[in-house]
Amino acid sequence: MSDLPFGVLDGAIPPQSNSHLFGHTEAEDFLAGFYRSGRSHHAILIEGPEGIGKATLAFRFANHVLSHPEPETAPNFLAEPDPSSSVSRQIASGASHNLLHLTRPVDEKSGKAKTAITVDEVRRAGHFFSQTSGTGNWRIVIIDPADDLNRNAANAILKILEEPPKRALFLVLSHAPGKLLPTIRSRCLPLKLQPLVEGDLTQALFSLGITLDGGRTAQEVLAASNGSVSQALKLMNYGGTDIISAFAEVTASSGPAARKAMHRLADVLSAKDNDVIFGFFLDHLRESLVARARAAAHAGDLAAADRASRLSSEIGERIAISQGYNLDRKQTIISLLEDVAR
């Protein structure tokens, strides 16, 4: 069993203890300069695809602020966190009294992450601010990611953002900011991160002890990861490349052969403790349908484009219904694959 913190992929370094960040120098310089100016916004929306370094950047900036609590004396760059400093040690261990990391909590009964960040988690932020209100220190909340806030939790966060405490800083992470409440977005300073270019992605993987040899498999991983370290890890450490190949076999087959391919793929995806690769498959399925819709629209087949687009948008709802009613995952997957085949 992995001894990594819950939710961290095998082969990855938890962002709160990761001293390496690649490909986001401009964002780092912006944050350092904006903080030093003394005009830093109380809430920064760090947006971009999953797995490109948003959380690592957030923890690095939090380390910078807590290490240099007076903006005018802070350096104009974000240095790599010093693992020997008390601030870095406290952040890495989750023991900092001035930093709160809000993410999906673990269900004590199932041992798995809940499907959303709940309002109870947001109440922890209120308690956090009340406990530290008299210290005069910066108090930083990292919401990771805000996309996982349920409606009540989002509204509770909004109330705090509307009247933030003094010397409070919110670092709001989002893979899909368009899905956030417009009122939350309007109260944040947006900072958009781009997917990693090939050189930065290769360096990031090398820092994790992964060397790509430049062969065909390496090129396939770099192309399919879309500039995301987490996607690359899923491809290499969780069998993602096999899932892509199996899905391609499903879409290329017909009749009994397609049915057999569907069942083989569904058996793998519905296996116990296979949630990471199941999520990877759903993302790949959405991307495939979006690409199919785009190609159909360009070809003038608007009906086919509409079908693919609708199915892509329905995936999340159908999975939520399946989980909510504890339906058989294999049958849910086969149903999705059958709709794709049609």
DSSP per-residue letters across 245-276 = HHHHHHHH--HHHHHHHHHHHHHHHTSTT-HH
| Mean pLDDT of the region 286-290 | 94
Q: Give residue-wise pLDDT tens across range 179-208.
A: 999 999 999 999 999 999 999 999 999 999
Cα separation of 174 and 148, whole Å? 9
From 161, 192, 223, the end of a domain falls on 192
pLDDT at 6 over 70: no
Least confident range of 19-23, 287-291, 320-324: 320-324
Is 0.75 surpassed by the pTM of this model?
yes
Q: What stretches of the chain adopt beta strand conformation (E)?
A: 43-47, 99-102, 139-143, 168-174, 189-192
Contact between 273 and 10 (Cβ < 8 Å): no
- Among candidate residues 103, 95, 148, the one with its CA nearest the CA of residue 124: 103
Q: Give residue-wise pLDDT tens across range 154-173.
A: 999 999 999 999 999 999 99
Average pLDDT across the chain, whole number: 92
| Mean pLDDT of the region 317-333 | 90
| Mean pLDDT of the region 94-110 | 91
Q: How far is CA 302 from CA 188, 287, 297, 299, 308, in A?
A: 37, 18, 5, 8, 10
Q: Is residue 113 part of a domain?
A: yes
Q: Is residue 254 part of a domain?
A: yes
Cα separation of 205 and 207, whole Å? 5
Give the model's pLDDT for residue 134: 65
CATH number of the domain where residue 34 is located: 3.40.50.300
Is residue 252 located within the same domain as residue 160?
no
Q: For residue 265, what pLDDT band results from cuts at 50, 70 and 90?
A: very high
Give the model's pLDDT for residue 324: 81
Backbone angles phi, psi at 320, to 5 degrees: -65, -40
DSSP per-residue letters across 182-217 = HHHHHTSEEEEPPPPPHHHHHHHHHHTT----SSHH
Is residue 68 located within the same domain as residue 143?
yes
pLDDT at 230 over 70: yes
pLDDT at 151 over 70: yes
Q: For residue 130, what pLDDT band results from cuts at 50, 70 and 90?
A: confident
Is residue 109 located within the same domain as residue 39?
yes
Q: Give residue-wise pLDDT tens across range 300-318.
A: 999 999 999 999 999 989 9
Backbone angles phi, psi at 300, to 5 degrees: 90, 5
Contact between 335 and 315 (Cβ < 8 Å): no
Give the model's pLDDT for residue 1: 39
Inter-axis angle of helices 198-207 and 229-237, to 10 degrees? 60
pLDDT at 7 over 90: no
pLDDT at 326 over 50: yes
As for how many domains the chain has, the answer is 2
pLDDT at 133 over 70: no
Nearby residues of 215 by Cβ (< 8 Å), 6 or more positions away: none
Q: Give residue 212's region: left, alpha or beta (phi > 0; psi -120 to 50).
A: beta
Cα separation of 336 and 328, whole Å? 13
Q: Is residue 6 part of a domain?
A: no
pLDDT at 245 over 60: yes
Q: Which residue has the higher pLDDT, 202 or 112?
A: 202
- Among candidate residues 37, 35, 98, 40, the one with its CA nearest the CA of residue 66: 98
Is residue 162 located within the same domain as residue 276?
no
Q: For residue 267, what pLDDT band results from cuts at 50, 70 and 90?
A: very high
Return the structure tokens found at 41. Answer: 């916004």
From 128, 163, 192, the end of a domain falls on 192
Is residue 27 located within the same domain as residue 148?
yes
Is residue 159 located within the same domain as residue 244?
no
Which residue range(s) make up the domain with 133? 15-192
pLDDT at 263 over 80: yes
Backbone angles phi, psi at 185, to 5 degrees: -60, -40
Cα separation of 40 and 62, whole Å? 13
Give the model's pLDDT for residue 159: 95
The DSSP code for 117 is: B
Contact between 225 and 252 (Cβ < 8 Å): no
**Type of residue found at 320:** A
Give the model's pLDDT for residue 2: 46
Terminal alpha carbon distance of the chain: 40
pLDDT at 338 over 80: yes
Give the model's pLDDT for residue 115: 84
Is residue 76 located within the same domain as residue 155?
yes
Is residue 121 located within the same domain as residue 256?
no
